[in-house]
Structure formats: structure tokens, C-alpha cells
Structure 1
Amino acid sequence: MAEDGYDIIVVGAGVAGSSLAHALATAKRASPLRIAVIERSLDEPDRIVGELMQPGGVLALRKVGLESVLENIDAATVKGYCVCDAGKIVEIPYPGKHEGRSFHHGRLIMNLRAAVRRAPCVDLIEGTVTDLIEDSSSARKVLGVRATLKGLEEKRSFYASLVIIADGCYSNFRSAVLRPTAMKPVVKSHFVGAVLKDAVLPLPNYGTVALIRGSGPVLLYQISKHDTRILIDVKQPVPDDLKTHILTHIAPQLPSSVQLPLKIALDTDRLRRMPNSYLPSAPQGSASTKPGIILIGDSWNMRHPLTGGGMTVALNDVAILAPLLASVSDLRDWDRIAPVLDRWFEDRKPLASTVNMLSVALYDLFGADAPELEVLRTGCFKYFELGGECINGPVSILSAIVPSPALLAYHFFSVALYSIWVMFTHPRVVPSPSGEKPRLVRPRVDEYPFLFLKGIRVFYTACVVFGPLLWMEMFAHSRPNRRSILLGVLCLALTVGVLIST
């Protein structure tokens, strides 16, 4: 059995693993790090997610010197979003001159792996990591991994000062690393994906979010010159006949320009499903985690893919973590690594927590399946219609240009209170007798007592949606410090301020 020694072993050559390996290999140090990247398959991956990168992700790529990986993959420019609801469209452009990119996921990964191959002192190895090598002490520090290489039956041992796990949402090592603190991902729904050929979106170079009555939202965005990705949110239990479900309940509510391409895709393309999971991050420098090994990317932290923030969070994590690790002279010394991980955990929070909270909260609103959430969804769309800061603020958060949990809290509760105002003052659709068009009717004065009670339930629902997310993302695993206390007070003050001003 051969034994190879490295400074760092990275398990997984996806977005997080490849970019971190490249960033560490090219970091300024007295002596370069010797790094092994072990990936189960080096063939081009074929996935239905990880195809839209927010402007914040593009900026993070630039920070780690990998902006060139977006070239020569027929990537499309993304200038913002448009939200469609019952034939109405609201345009939500990115702030300033910021732009995102959308592309075939596999093409980006192959460019990232090519960059890893060019980096100094890096071995890109095709093989399946099967288990961890640990010492016999009570701490059971990780010393390396065992892997079965492609074309070989015998397992091979790889030793390193530090092992980094980046094996994605289906990680085989998550619970082993975090031990008692490990949380299982919560599956919120599934995305069903297909590729539409030569589809025309309502606004060119804009991602489209279509709000669907009785179902979750539908995402559409161009990923190459002729290809447009469609992601259809399907809640559990997933219908047995997806094609019929989509044609009957989803397609008629989509913009007319994409309905025919969707029907063609259903006949010619393979429908694939991907779980939409939420997994809050947990500290990795504490005594409850296994020494000698850390997690990054979807193996450690996931959010709903509705807002396309996954790659942005992963790349921002890399941009923060790589220089911190590169500054440690002895990667075998866990007493030096642990404070670095604690600092990384806190420094990443503004962006990661903002993106994570927004993704889940927005999905709960857009995938409304309760009367109170329906009110919030309608109010959210009308809030965007107000324009100005009601668009600039939320899209600055969505694009990861302004990572601010406090600003997110302000706009979320502004939406909640504006939704209640809309419920009292705006006309609502009332079904008419068979054969007649629905009517728009304003609330009557005698309905106000009922609407007042419903408004209380709506605001309570908003608190139930956002409060646990805020706690989990910002405070659950943090030691009380000046910044966390200040943020909590600020979020509370903003909420009270919105209440008073309204």
C-alpha cells in the first residue's frame, strides 16, 4: 500500500474544492503548499443547479484570481431578475453596473479543474475517498484519507497535515467531522429541471421568476446562446406523473413565449430532480468537531437555490478562508488552526447569513401554501412594483453586493407590513358565476374587523418565518460579542421603526 504525504488534501473538485485548492496553491508563502485534490470523476458533470452566479460570486472569483474561468463557456450575462405574477411583470435590475453570469455547470467545473491543474504543486487525482485515517488518541485526529483510484482495486492511503472535505450536498463525511453538532439537511422541496431550446424570456439577459398559484415558483434563465434552464419547484410528495402535472398546472401560468419550448422539452429532454435543502453552518474550530479536518461548500452549509446564492457563498468562503489558512506556518498544529476557523466562521456571516436567510424566507413567500403566506406573496410583488429603494435594497441583498442581515430584516418586515396595507386597501379578485370573468372588489368597512385579525396572523407568520432563520444564522452558534449584540438590537430597532412609521 503506497503512502503519499501532502500539506493539504481536498476531497471534491467542484466549485468550492477546486477554487480553494487553487487559492491555497497560489497563496503567498515562504514555501508553496503541496496539495492533493481527489475527485470521484473528472468527467464533465451534468447538473441542473449551480448554473447562475450572482454578481457577488463574480466579485469573489476575481478576489481569488479565477475570473477567467467564466470565459469560453458560452456564458450568458445576467443583468437582474424579472418577477411574473398572473401576467404582470416587474423588472428588478442589479444595482449600478454589476452583472452576474449563467452557464452550463459542467463547463465552469472543467475550467476550474483546468486552473487547478495549472497551479503549482497540486495533484488532481481521480478516485473515490472511502474513509478517513485517524490516529489512535482520544481526540482521533484525522491524518489523511483512503481512496480507491480509478482503474485500481486496492485502496491507497494519502496523508496530509489538513484534510478539507468539499464533496457536496450528499457528503459522506459531514457527520463524522461535526460529530454531535451535525445537523441533517432539511429538504424544503424539489426542483425539476429541463433545458428549453431557443426560448424567448420576457426580458433578455434577466432571470425570470414566475409565481405559480397552487405551487412553488418557476425559475428560467439563459445558460448559453440557445439553451435556457427551467427549474420547476415541486413540493413533496412529488407527483408520479411529472409531465402531466407540469402541462396541466404549471405551463398555463408561465409567460406565453416559453410555453411551446417547454412542451417540446417535455417530449425530448430528460426531466431530472434535485432536492432543495437547507443546512445551517456550524462552528468547526470547537472541541465538538474532529481535529485535522474541515468542511466547506454544500457539505457544510446549504440554502434554497431559489436565489442562486450557493456558488456565491462558497466562493466568498474561499476568499476569506484561503489567506487565513495560508498564514498558518504549521498546518499540523490544530491549536493554530482552530482560531483561524473561528475567525472564518464569524467573518463569513454577513454575506453567508444574508444569502441563506433570504433564500429560505423568499421561498416561503413565493411558494405560499397558506392564506397568510398568500397575503405576503401578493404584498411582496406589489412592494417591488413601488420601485426605487423597494427594489434597490432587496436586489442589492439578493446579488450579494450588500451583505447586511439588518437591511434584510428591514425590507422583510417592510414587505410584511405593506402586505397588510395592501390587504386592507387594494381590490382583490372575487370569483364570478360560471362563465363570467372574475371581478375586482375592494374590501368593505364591515370586513375590517376580520381583516384586522387576519393582519395580526400575517405579521405573526412573517415573524415565524424570519425569526428562527435569524436566530439560526446569526446567533445559535455564536459566542455573545459586541457585533452580535449590536446586530440583534439593530434588527429589533428596525422592526419597531417600520411598525411606527407604518
Structure 2
Amino acid sequence: MADRYDVLIVGAGVAGCALAHALATAPRTTPLRIALLERSLDEPDRIVGELLQPGGVNALKTLGLESVVENIDAATCVGYCVVDAGAGKQVEIPYPGGHKGKSFHHGRLIMNLRAAARRAPGVDVIEATVKELIEDDSSKRRVIGVRALPKGEEEQRSFHASLVIIADGCASKFRSSVFPAPKPTTKSHFVGAILKDVVLPIPNHGTVALIKGSGPVLMYQISKHDTRILMDVKEPLPSDLKAHILANIAPQLPHSVQPALKTALDTDRLRRMPNSYLPTTPQGSASPKPGIILIGDAWNMRHPLTGGGMTVAFNDIVALQPLLAAVPDLGNWRQVKRALDRWYRARKPLASTVNILSVALYDLFGADGDELEVLRTGCFKYFELGGECINGPVSILSALAPSPALLTYHFFSVALYAIWVLFTHPRLVPGRPGEKPRYAVARLDQYPFLLYKSARVFYTACVVFGPLLWMEMFKHTGPSRATLALGLVAALAAAVVFS
């Protein structure tokens, strides 16, 4: 005998819990019966999913879930501090308009989200391990449910539903069953620890430290006494992570942080998390398997450098909730497909902006190569200009200004300003034997080489940004829009040159 529901959601994490609550509370003629299946309902312990941007906080309010960040000793985040370890400089990047983000222990947020889902009408939260999808015997394609082993039982149970939603996270067990390609790509890992009672360079600001010879380091307070540190380590990972951190990363961090990091390395276990990128694939008309959809990290991932994962997930659900609520029969795949097609278009401005920024910014901040180093320096100096050079980028990062066009404008502004810096700003010049290095502006006789280098820098910027723009905005929308994309990049670059 199968348990029958209108909706099955596999995974009671950020996306699964929020979607269960959203569908249960959406106005419908006939209330939904929803099963939320999770392998373990114990409090999870993860090193990511701990920072929610202001755009994500706003999405929680829209969903009626703003209370989930309360009573968990969460910290308020009002912006960022970017530290250039090599230059010994830092720049403050406040969120615009007094907006605020939240940071917290991931597990505490999840427990509040699960409690909210459990309180929603018609939602059953079930602790069970999903083993396989159930497909319609007649078509062998349409998914009509799952088989799962409930905790404490010895036999699997079948759960049937009109619609199955997979929200089982970055290491999704069922992603490949729905979409065989593409697969996530991983460039590096975040290695995480908890720092006790440290003083960050600017209180209530997330800190991004740019480290010579290594990827960026993130630090943000997640409770009254705890600060999360995430250290980017590129593949292949060193055999002795602790020794690598002590030798190459710790000495470049702010002095107020170094003792706490050394203590954490002695007392806390180092954990690592792959930094993966997975672009979206349309799930409506293009879906190869009816009756099932993916949400959250099971479907779309971006680099966690910008802390945009949960913000994208909550905003995805804000966009999806009314579209599925308007489908009277979720078993009618034709109607569901139309809703998914509209959802794919509706989510694109915010999701694509956050996704492109996360990967592009990591390529700059985790600079490998001379041209990327020039872009990284230019980016830091661009922030030092203040005004719109800070307000625009942080509005994008915080998901308050979901605009791929604005992101394109600022990215190429950074690239062109980096070239200007090459010609006009003093740079370190190695001294002769016995002489100290000094700073000097480029001489006229160096201009031919700098012109050549400038061309390579701008080409590198296009190589970093162009494929991301194509993948996120235009890959699945036809060649005419691809032409529009190239025209947009050219127009914005020209606008920056002549402004």
C-alpha cells in the first residue's frame, strides 16, 4: 500500500523546507498534501550555508519565514571588508540603503526551517532515506513517486505523488536521473574552522582577505562568540592541510585573527567543502523526465565566495510559489511544464547575476596568472574609488539589484580601470643587487609592452566573463539572443571607454 500525496519533496534542507512551507501556505482552491522526506532530522553540521544576503532576507519576508533567523544567536551583517594582504590595505563595502544580512550556524537555521514546514498545513515531515524513484509502468519515463526506508523500519515504503521535487543538495543522488548532463565543475575547496572570540577588521562586516599565492579567505561572525573562517585551497589539495595553512595563509591574515586560527587548528577538526559550479538547465519543455523537478543545489550551484546560495534558493521559491499555486492539477504535466518555463525566465535576472558574479569574482580574487593579478589589483583599487564603484557592485552581490547588464558594466569598468592603473599608478620595481625594491610609475619606454599587456588583460577579462554570461543568460535561448549578448558586452565596454 503506497502513501499518496500531491507533492513529494526529497530533502529537508534550505530549499526543501522553504518550498514545502511556500506550497502549503499558497492560496489554492484545494489544499495540498505534501510529504517532506529527509534522511536524518538531526541538526546538521556544515561549514557553508551560514550567510544570508539582504536579498535573501527580503525573500524570507515575502515567504512569511523571517522568524527562522530569530532565536538562533544570529549575527547581523551590514557589509564587507576587503583586505589586500600584500598591500597591507583594506576597504569597507557597506550594504546600500541600510540593508542588512544575517549569518548563523547552518544547523540552527535548518532546524527552524523544518519546524516552520512541520507547522504548515498539510505537510508531513518524514525521516526516511529515499532509495529510488518510482516510474510509471506504462511509459517508464514519468516519475510517480519514490521508495524510501523510514527510520527504524526494516522494509521500504512507496510514496506516490502528482509531483516529485528533488532538493537533496550539492551531492544530489538523483540529479543524474533527471538530467544526465551537465555535471558540476570544481576548481577548489573551502577549508573551514570556527574561530573563538576574534575581532574582525570591521565589526559586523564579512571579511574577504586576498592572499598571495592562495585563494581568498572568508571570515564572518555566525554567533556571539563564533566566527567562521573559510580558506580557499585549490586542487590538488596538499597532503597536510594544517601545515599548508600555517605556512602560507595564517601569516597573511589580520593580526587579530592569527592566534585564534592557530588555536582552532590545534583544537578543531578541519573540514572541507568542494566549491562547485553547476549552471541551470531548463526543466519545463526541455525536461527529459515528466513528473519530477530539481531545486536548490541539486539543480544550480555557484561559487560560495559571495554567499549567494541560500539567497538564490529563497528567491527561486518566491518565483515558483505562485506559478505552481496557479496549476489546479499538479498531475497535469503540460500545465506544470508551462509553469516551469515561466519560472525559468522569471528567476534568470537574479539567479544569473549572482551566479556569474560568484565565479567571475573568484577568478579575480583567486588570481592565478599575471593578467588575473592585474585584474585583482584593479578590482581592489576600483573599490577604493568609493561612491558608485562600491554601491553598484555590492548592490549586485547582495541581490538587491539583480541586473546582468549592471554586472557587465561594472565588470568591464574594473577591467578598464585595471589597465589605467597599469599605466598611471606606482608599482613595485625590483632593485638592483644590494638595493631595496621601490615603487615607480611606468616610463614612456615601457608603454609598448604595457599596451601589449593591456590587450592580454582585456582579453582575459572577456575569457573569464563571456562564457559565464553565455552559459547563464543565453545558452538555452537561441542564437538571436547570443548575438544580443555580444552586442551588450561591446556596448557596455564602449560606454565605459567613452564615459
TM-score, normalised with respect to structure 2 = 0.97
**1:212, 1:144 → 2: CA distance?**
48
Give, in angstroms, the shift of residue 91 of structure 1. Answer: 0.3
Match for residue 125 of structure 2?
Answer: 124
CA contact (8 A) 2:474 2:485 kept: no
Match for residue 490 of structure 2?
Answer: 492
**1:466, 1:336 → 2: CA distance?**
36
1:8 and 2:7 correspond: yes
Structure 2, unpaired ranges of 5+: none
Give, in angstroms, the shift of residue 487 of structure 1. Answer: 6.1
Give, in angstroms, the shift of residue 148 of structure 1. Answer: 0.8
CA contact (8 A) 2:15 2:313 kept: yes
**1:269, 1:163 → 2: CA distance?**
39
> 1:132-179 CA deviation, whole Å, 9 max, x = no partner?
000133461000000011111211100000000000000011111124
**2:291, 2:324 → 1: CA distance?**
13
> 1:85-116 CA deviation, whole Å, 9 max, x = no partner?
03201000000011000000000000000001
Match for residue 412 of structure 2?
Answer: 413
CA contact (8 A) 2:470 2:485 kept: no
Q: Quick one: structure 1 residues 459 and 287, their matched pair in 2 at CA, closer, same or farther if it must change by over 3 Å?
A: closer
**1:432, 1:216 → 2: CA distance?**
28
Q: Which amino acid is 1:251 matched to?
A: A
CA contact (8 A) 2:319 2:347 kept: yes
**1:481, 1:402 → 2: CA distance?**
26
Q: Which amino acid is 1:355 matched to?
A: V
Describe how 1:46-445 pairs up with structure 2 within 5 A: 46-86=45-85, 87-138=88-139, 140-179=141-180, 182-432=181-431, 437-445=436-444
Describe how 1:444-463 pairs up with structure 2 within 5 A: 444-463=443-462
Q: Quick one: structure 1 residues 214 and 11, their matched pair in 2 at CA, closer, same or farther if it must change by over 3 Å?
A: same
SS of match in other structure, 1:348: helix
SS of match in other structure, 2:401: coil
Give, in angstroms, the shift of residue 335 of structure 1. Answer: 0.6
Give, in angstroms, the shift of residue 490 of structure 1. Answer: 3.6
Q: Which amino acid is 2:108 matched to?
A: R
Give, in angstroms, the shift of residue 488 of structure 1. Answer: 5.7
**1:489, 1:108 → 2: CA distance?**
43
SS of match in other structure, 1:369: coil
Give, in angstroms, the shift of residue 270 of structure 1. Answer: 0.5
Give, in angstroms, the shift of residue 30 of structure 1. Answer: 1.3
**1:8, 1:298 → 2: CA distance?**
19
Q: Which amino acid is 1:496 matched to?
A: A
CA contact (8 A) 2:38 2:129 kept: yes
**1:435, 1:384 → 2: CA distance?**
36
Q: Which amino acid is 1:354 matched to?
A: T
Count matched residues: 497
CA contact (8 A) 1:276 1:304 kept: yes
When the two chains are superposed, the root-mean-square deviation of aligned CA atoms in Å is 1.5
SS of match in other structure, 2:256: helix
Percent identity for Structure 1 against Structure 2: 75
Give, in angstroms, the shift of residue 431 of structure 1. Answer: 3.5
CA contact (8 A) 1:139 1:291 kept: no
SS of match in other structure, 1:257: coil
TM-score, normalised with respect to structure 1 = 0.97
CA contact (8 A) 1:139 1:290 kept: no
CA contact (8 A) 1:406 1:487 kept: no
**1:364, 1:65 → 2: CA distance?**
36
